[in-house]
Structure 1
Amino acid sequence: MIPIKQITGLILAGGRGMRMGQVNKGLQAFKNEAMVAHVVRRLSPQVTQLMINVNQDTDQYAQFSDYLVGDLIPDYAGPLAGIHAGLSLCTTDFLVTAPCDSPFLPLNLVEKLAEALTQEQAQIAVVITAEAETVSQELGTRWQQQPVFCLLRTDLKSNLETFLNNGGRKVSDWYQDLKIVEVAFDHSADFRNINTREELMQFATDADTHTTKAASN
């Protein structure tokens, strides 16, 4: 198993929040506090150090982490640019990532990803979730990848930098040439992203019911 002291956490908050009216999603109020505060509270006990990738509103984000990192690739190049920025400053052997708009992420996220990455000797462990809680026996379970919830080796920095410099932007495209292991989590709602103001209101009541499911996962 990978010791926690070898794992740094990175919260991805470097986007422009287009679907929420061009605001910084992580700073939007959710259950009476910034949405990123929920992510920090759930991810920080699972890692030795926590960074936040942010390209604006750094003064406001400073209250949530002493380690803020901006994109090194210009023009809001997406979550891979944030991961690249995190890898550039990471001093541990592994980096785990999660978006700032995922206030329900499970408290055993890192544990399960680290176990799978070690067992499969992979470069990246990525979350997959069932598309529906109930599926037909004939079709079986259909799994959906959650690509920005991942644990990766920090020696992938040069590989990612080359991919970005060649114009690559999609996380799934970068994964194609790497050894990845997909890690199934039973509760897809734990990885719900809140992208609009309507969803902020709709899912606020869910925050009280989302406690750790480590025993059942």
Structure 2
Amino acid sequence: MISAEHITGLILAGGRAQRMGGIDKGLIPFHNKPLIDSTITRLKKQVGPMLINANRNVTKYAAYGYPVIMDETPDFSGPLAGFSAGLSACKTQYLLSAPCDSPMLPLDLASRMANELEQGNYQLVYASSKEADGKVWAQPVFCLMRTNLHESLEIFLQKGDLKIDRWFKELRSGTVVFEEAHAFANVNTPEELKALEQVSL
């Protein structure tokens, strides 16, 4: 049984947010607080230590009291660069990632992912969401991985590949399908932010 204290939570706040005009998504107001507040509140109950991956506004993120780690590559290389930084800093056996702009992430995310990882003897498990029409979508940035995958990820990144699903295919990976599609709603435009505020009232 994988317990919460063996899992480090990693909040990914290192992106460029080009569709939001380049502003730092984790700091956008959501119900009058920075968006990352909601993500931290929901994730911290499920894990032991926490890390924040950010490449700008580091002092603002550091104010939350968790270590802030920057990508080792300086060019906003996407979530895999965040995974790599998280794996470097992680001191537990497992790392669970979630993006900073998903303020309604499932409260049973860690427990269900950990159960699947153990039962399937996987190296990595990612979330999927089921829409009302029955379609299942991969949500690969919500990901529970064994910390010993760092070397595998470094080799993959050195090839110049940044595609998250291609790395997953090199591993024994599985997925957990969550029925609540809105739990993975994220914010890419100001309109989506407004809609999400209404849903989460």
**TM-score of the alignment, normalized to the shorter chain, above 0.5:** yes
Q: What is residue 175 of structure 1 aligned with on the other side?
A: 168
Question: Aligned-pair distance for 1:73?
Answer: 1.9
Question: Aligned-pair distance for 1:3?
Answer: 1.4
1:45 partner SS = coil
2:194 partner SS = helix
In 1, the alpha carbon distance for the partners of 2:85 and 2:182 equals 28
Question: Aligned-pair distance for 1:142?
Answer: 2.8
In 1, the alpha carbon distance for the partners of 2:136 and 2:200 equals 24
Matched, 1:204 2:192: no
Question: Aligned-pair distance for 1:155?
Answer: 0.2
Q: What is residue 157 of structure 2 aligned with on the other side?
A: 164
In 1, the alpha carbon distance for the partners of 2:66 and 2:11 equals 13
1:40–1:64 Cα contact (<8 Å) kept: no
Q: What is residue 80 of structure 1 aligned with on the other side?
A: 80
Question: Aligned-pair distance for 1:66?
Answer: 2.2
Question: Aligned-pair distance for 1:158?
Answer: 0.5
2:72 partner SS = coil
In 2, the alpha carbon distance for the partners of 1:203 and 1:144 equals 19
Q: What are the within-5 Å matches in structure 2 for residues 1-217 of structure 1?
A: 1-130=1-130, 132-134=131-133, 141-208=134-201
How well do the aligned residues superpose, as a CA RMSD in angstroms? 0.9
In 2, the alpha carbon distance for the partners of 1:65 and 1:53 equals 13
1:31–1:207 Cα contact (<8 Å) kept: no
2:200 partner SS = helix
Question: Aligned-pair distance for 1:198?
Answer: 1.6
Structure of higher CA gyration radius: 1
TM-score (norm 2): 0.97
2:83 partner SS = helix
1:203 partner SS = helix
User: 1:155-184 deviations in whole A, cap 9, x for unaligned?
Assistant: 000000111111010110111110011111
In 2, the alpha carbon distance for the partners of 1:90 and 1:52 equals 11
1:156 partner SS = helix
1:201 partner SS = helix
In 2, the alpha carbon distance for the partners of 1:142 and 1:103 equals 22
Matched length: 201
In 2, the alpha carbon distance for the partners of 1:146 and 1:203 equals 18
In 2, the alpha carbon distance for the partners of 1:3 and 1:184 equals 21
Off by >6 Å, runs of 4+ in structure 1: none
In 2, the alpha carbon distance for the partners of 1:177 and 1:146 equals 18
Question: Aligned-pair distance for 1:74?
Answer: 2.5
Structure 2: 5+ residue stretches without partners: none
